[in-house]
Amino acid sequence: MRRYFLTGATGFVGRELCRQILRRPNTESVTCLTRGQRLAGTLLSHPKLRYWTGDITECAFPKGEFTDLIHGANDANDLMQPDLHRY
């Protein structure tokens, strides 16, 4: 069984990533690091979902063991425009 710690779960990419992880039959739990936001819709009350409030740069890591750590935070949203000057 997998126990995930996921950052960025309330963002555009992270929400879908969290949904996909929760659908996996071998998922025991998903702990989402958030800055106080909560996931919307049916994910909000999913029995395998837990929240850990904090910021990736300064939070205390939750007690317990995790099999997977996924940094799902991303500077992306549905209105994102490509930064053509970065390449």
> Can you give the residue ranges of every domain in the chain?
11-59+67-73
DSSP assigned state of 59: P
Neighbours of 57 (CB within 10 A): 5
At 69, the pLDDT band (50, 70, 90 cuts) reads very high
**pLDDT per residue as tens digits for the range 21-65:** 999 999 999 998 887 767 766 677 889 999 888 877 777 888 889
Q: Could you tell me the pTM of the whole model?
A: 0.76
Give residue 87's pLDDT. Answer: 43
Given a contact cutoff of 8 angstroms between Cβ atoms, the answer to whether 47 and 77 are in contact is: no
CA-wise closest residue to 67 among 34, 39, 29, 33: 29
| Beta-ladder partners of 31 | 5, 50
